[in-house]
Amino acid sequence: MDFSIPDSGDQSFHFSDLYILREALGKGSFGRVVRCVNKATKQDCAVKIISKTDLNIDLEAAACEVQILSGLNHCNVVKFQGIHHNKHHIFLEMELLRGGTLGALLKQRRLRDEEAATVMWGIFRAVSYLHSRDILHRDLKPDNIMFLSEDLSTLKVADFGVSAKFGQHLFARTFEDMCGTVSFMAPEQVMHRNYSKPVDLWSSAVILYMTITGGHPLLEPGDTVQSYTLKLQRLEWSFPNYFNPLARQLFLHLTNSQPLERYTADQALSHPWVTRTHSEVPRTYLERLAEFNSHTQFRRLCSHLVALGSLLYLKNGKVPKHATVPPPPSTLIIPERSPQTALKSQALSAVSPKPTVKEANKSALRRRSTECLDVQRSRRYSAFCKGQSPRSSALRPVASTYLRKPQLSPLRKLG
């Protein structure tokens, strides 16, 4: 890895030549952080002081932090302002965050549901930006979440001391190491397995739980690394009654034991608890795949039932009980006449006088018109049963039917 701290020219200067010390802010990875005034710009700033002579300091990792910070520019990530170093120390200058840390805020009070959602919105935005640039923070915790002011929307992610850039050259060495704070590590990270971007989402979920409840979801007083590792292997979550159900759903998606089934930062950003809207709950890839498979199996089941019904119909020569088939469209159902109706018609025909030629012609024309209408109804019924719309030509009467000269009745010829 070709990480190097840039040369600042004259390295014989002292800290007091560049900054005016105001107060100590805390301790970060690889050094302590102090509040200073830059003599050149006359502005307040935060300076991380890294000792080169400290044997516990990994200068290569410190150079990695410098390289990562110098390439970041996001409203939810602490801003890098410059670096200086002499023979004994490295001075990493960053913007001053006056709002304090999330850890200090949680010691004072438990956040409301809306405030917790605002905090997590800023964290997820920062993680999404880092992951888009293939950078893992690997040490997300309340002490590394800071605020520019008292407004919670001014959240900044800080301390990139154990961060790493995801790449082909770093995977073999860096991404099998256990870096960060154990109580915020994902199971694969604690158990020395290969890991990637989902570890930051696990840490974000633990912070989510702490913003709502004020306590850690698993860690208890007296726990050791071994006992905490056993808890990670047998995950059992408990939620208080005031825990928002949507926040609970988001937490469970972020702490899935399978890294591939966890939410990404972009999916967490679109969750309705974070957006505070009635939007759809995002689904992971495996959830979408399972839903697609269930729909496919249902369609196959329907196809098999239809095929089974067809086989029963062909085998038994009758329609199954659950199916109804309309009568053939080409046949017309004509009701049979009762014996009384037949006798009555015969009596009337015997009493009625013989029709004249004109009346016979009208009767024949009326009979042919009735037959034509019956044909039209039959065609319409056939098209209806087939689910088709009949052609307009099939519905119009044929002109030749009406213009055709009617044939004389056989009775008239005999008379």
pLDDT of residue 272: 95
User: How would you classify the pairing of strands 44-51 and 80-85?
Assistant: unpaired
For 39-43, 187-191, 386-390, 405-409, which range has the lowest pLDDT when averaged over its residues? 405-409
Does 102 share its domain with 215? Answer: yes
139 a catalytic residue: yes
Per-residue pLDDT, averaged over 76-85, amounts to: 90
Residue 32 has pLDDT above 60, yes or no: yes
Residue 324 is assigned to a structural domain of this protein: no
State the pLDDT confidence band at 415, using cuts at 50, 70 and 90: very low
Residue 145 is assigned to a structural domain of this protein: yes
For 15-24, 106-115, 283-292, 396-405, which range has the lowest pLDDT when averaged over its residues? 396-405
State the pLDDT confidence band at 386, using cuts at 50, 70 and 90: low
CATH of the domain at 219: 1.10.510.10
Does 78 share its domain with 132? Answer: no
- Tokens 């053939």 appear where? 328
State the pLDDT confidence band at 174, using cuts at 50, 70 and 90: very low
- Please compute Rg for the chain using Cα positions: 43
State the pLDDT confidence band at 348, using cuts at 50, 70 and 90: low
- The structure's pTM equals 0.66
* Contact assessment for residue 231 and residue 240, using Cβ atoms and an 8 Å cutoff: no
Does 42 share its domain with 103? Answer: no
Q: What sign has the CA pseudo-torsion 240, 140, 142, 278?
A: negative
Does 276 share its domain with 364? Answer: no
Residue 305 is assigned to a structural domain of this protein: no
* Contact assessment for residue 379 and residue 395, using Cβ atoms and an 8 Å cutoff: yes
State the pLDDT confidence band at 52, using cuts at 50, 70 and 90: confident
Q: How far apart are the first and last CA of the chain?
A: 122
Residue 405 is assigned to a structural domain of this protein: yes
The one catalytic residue in 139, 143, 159, 200 is 139
Residue 66 has pLDDT above 50, yes or no: yes
Q: What is the pLDDT of residues 181-197, one digit of tens each?
A: 889 999 998 888 888 89
Per-residue pLDDT, averaged over 108-119, amounts to: 94
**Interatomic CA distance for residues 145 and 104, integer angstroms:** 10
Does 139 share its domain with 196? Answer: yes
Residue 244 is assigned to a structural domain of this protein: yes
pLDDT of residue 282: 87
Does 177 share its domain with 132? Answer: yes
pLDDT of residue 340: 63
Arithmetic mean of pLDDT over the chain = 78
Residue 91 is assigned to a structural domain of this protein: yes
Helical residues (DSSP H) of 276-406, grouped into ranges: 285-316, 339-351, 357-386, 392-395, 399-403
| Structure-model confidence comparison of residues 148 and 407, the more confident one | 148
For 50-64, 69-83, 272-286, 396-410, which range has the lowest pLDDT when averaged over its residues? 396-410
Residue 322 is assigned to a structural domain of this protein: no
State the pLDDT confidence band at 171, using cuts at 50, 70 and 90: very low
Amino acid at 415: G
pLDDT of residue 350: 58
pLDDT of residue 169: 39
Closest CA to 3 of 167, 145, 127: 167
Amino acid at 390: P
* Contact assessment for residue 102 and residue 28, using Cβ atoms and an 8 Å cutoff: no
Give percent of the chain above pLDDT 90: 36
**Interatomic CA distance for residues 206 and 204, integer angstroms:** 5
Closest CA to 74 of 135, 26, 33: 135
DSSP calls for 73-139: --TTBPPEEEEEE-SSEEEEEE---TT-BHHHHHHH-PPPHHHHHHHHHHHHHHHHHHHHTTEE---
Per-residue pLDDT, averaged over 396-412, amounts to: 50
- Tokens 């696990």 appear where? 202
Residue 14 is assigned to a structural domain of this protein: yes
Does 128 share its domain with 81? Answer: no
For residue 274, the SS3 value is helix
Pick the last residue of a domain from 96, 122, 137. Answer: 96
For residue 33, the SS3 value is strand
**Interatomic CA distance for residues 10 and 35, integer angstroms:** 24
Residue 70 has pLDDT above 50, yes or no: yes
pLDDT of residue 300: 78
Neighbours of 222 (CB within 10 A): 6
Does 115 share its domain with 183? Answer: yes
Closest CA to 159 of 48, 83, 43, 44: 48
Closest CA to 85 of 139, 152, 11: 11
Pick the last residue of a domain from 254, 282, 310. Answer: 282
**Interatomic CA distance for residues 47 and 93, integer angstroms:** 4
Does 55 share its domain with 133? Answer: no
Does 49 share its domain with 111? Answer: no
pLDDT of residue 173: 40
| Structure-model confidence comparison of residues 415 and 281, the more confident one | 281
Amino acid at 372: C
Contacts of 398 (CB under 8 A, 6+ apart): 372
State the pLDDT confidence band at 338, using cuts at 50, 70 and 90: low
Which structural domain, as residue segments, surrounds residue 401?
Answer: 345-414
CATH of the domain at 3: 3.30.200.20
Pick the last residue of a domain from 282, 302, 321. Answer: 282
Residue 109 has pLDDT above 80, yes or no: yes
Beta-bridge mates of residue 49: 32, 91
For 46-50, 234-238, 284-288, which range has the lowest pLDDT when averaged over its residues? 284-288
Domains identified in the chain, total number: 3
Does 111 share its domain with 180? Answer: yes
Per-residue pLDDT, averaged over 381-387, amounts to: 66
Does 83 share its domain with 125? Answer: no
The two three-digit tokens of residue 291, written as one number: 């839903």
For 37-51, 157-171, 302-316, which range has the lowest pLDDT when averaged over its residues? 157-171
Closest CA to 162 of 138, 190, 194, 130: 138
